Amino acid sequence: MGTFDIQILGIGSIPSPLNLNEVQGDQVFTYVSDDQRILLDTSLKRYQKAKDHDEPPLSLERAGPREKIYFNPDETSAAIVTCGGLCPGVNNVIRSVVMGLHYFYGVKRILGIPYGYEGFIPSFGHDFVDLTPEHVKDIHEFGGTILGSSRGGQSVEAMADTIERENINLIFAIGGDGTLKGAREIGAELLQRGANAVVAGIPKTIDNDINLMERSFGYETAFNVANPIIRDAHNEARGAYNGISIIKLMGRDSGFIAASAALSMPVVNFVLIPEMDFSLRGDQGFLQCLKDRLDNRKHAVIVVAEGAGQNLFEGAEKQKDASGNVLHNDIGLLLKSKVDEYFKSIGYRVTIKYLDPSYIIRSAPANANDSIFASRLAHHAVHGAMAGKTNFVVGLINGRFAYFPISTVANQRQKIDLNGDLWFSVLQSTGQPFVMK
């Protein structure tokens, strides 16, 4: 299986306290074994190619409870850390990890690490939080994270020192690309030291850009919250002669939120995402396409992802945040300025409204479906960690939960395929040209 093997501290020898079995059809969930695999690609073409080369198709270890676990619950301590930007569902994950550890396995010492990875560093002066079922029982009703968050790398050695000093065995890292890279480094350091500790990642990115996975929690809530905002922006545009509404949504490197929000509220006429190139000027450029729309319908709604159109900022210096992510220039404000400038230059009267609801969206509590999804991710992370698995991320692939090696998901971001069905659906819904250059 090669690159998709999951590292493990050792073979589990402790009977699981879950009291499941391996009998099929008795209405009791059965334990999952390590040899149960989920195909990465279910296409017949990929399967046939592997068969022709006498190779097993690429697959991932199925997530779920094991009959034998590695850690003795009575002697096990856990820690939960949340990093990066806010995202709907983080508190749901925290709650479900705590409840799963406490009620499924009987782990009583569960620490909350405040303000991201810096909470592991004593010099910051952050005190650990004792996470009990009573402490977390209502947190799923609120957005944000009760533990706080931060960006920026910390000393891996210093974090590992704290983990060993505090006798922490299970580390649950909730975060996106940067967080998972940090988790990978912490896990590698702990393995090198021979520490009795594992690292489990729970992927958090509102942009839905985790490599290989079908979806990430918070993404559905994001476009669900954006839906009525787009509706109201449409009403604003329609209420003015040649009214234009521009809504900037999250999507630093991938345009999934913008695409899905537009499909969920099909009044959008243009969707601009990081994956596509477009020009402002020219006979087929965006501004001319916008004018054609106004000529015909007298209003237009534009949804733009925050990472779109960065090529339009000629000579702008690229800066990075504390986590090393490129800070994009504000495409929403540039677009508003260029649209206003263009129509004034041709003596064409327009009314422009600009909305940026990003911080409202990312701070919202999870909707019902994301709440379910976050909880299931958390439970599978607990099962994997208690079985002694490390340097893994739990995620959904082909409708099943699986364990992914962190290295396979933290090395690149998932993007919209401009030749794929999702983008074609967006083009059909909006009526925008395939190319605007």
Q: In angstroms, rounded to a whole number, what is the distance separating the alpha carbons of residues 128 and 120?
A: 9
Contact 263, 240 (CB under 8 A): no
Residues recorded for the chain: 437
Angle (nearest 5°) at CA 72 between 71 and 78: 65
76, 106 Cβ separation under 8 angstroms: no
Residue position matching structure tokens 């596509």: 276
Phi, psi of 205 (to 5 degrees): -155, 120
Specify the residue for token string 């909707």.
367
DSSP for 91-160 reads: HHHHHHHHHIIIIII---EEEEESSGGGGG-GGG-PPPEE--HHHHTTGGGSSS-TT----S---HHHHH
Angle formed at CA 330 by CA 324 and CA 336, multiple of 5 degrees: 170
The DSSP call for residue 66 is: -
Residue tagged active-site, from 52, 161, 207, 277 = 207
Q: Helix 256-264 crosses helix 421-430 at what angle (to 10 degrees)? A: 50
CA distance 395 to 373: 10
Residue 207 annotated in active site? yes
Q: Are 352 and 336 in contact (CB under 8 A)?
A: yes
Return the closest-CA partner of residue 210 out of 437, 393, 430. 393
Q: Which two tokens stand for residue 413?
A: 């971001």
Please state the φ and ψ torsions of residue 374, each to the nearest 5 degrees.
-60, -40
Give the separation between CA 80 and CA 112, rounded to whole angstroms: 5
Indicate which residues carry an active-site annotation. 207
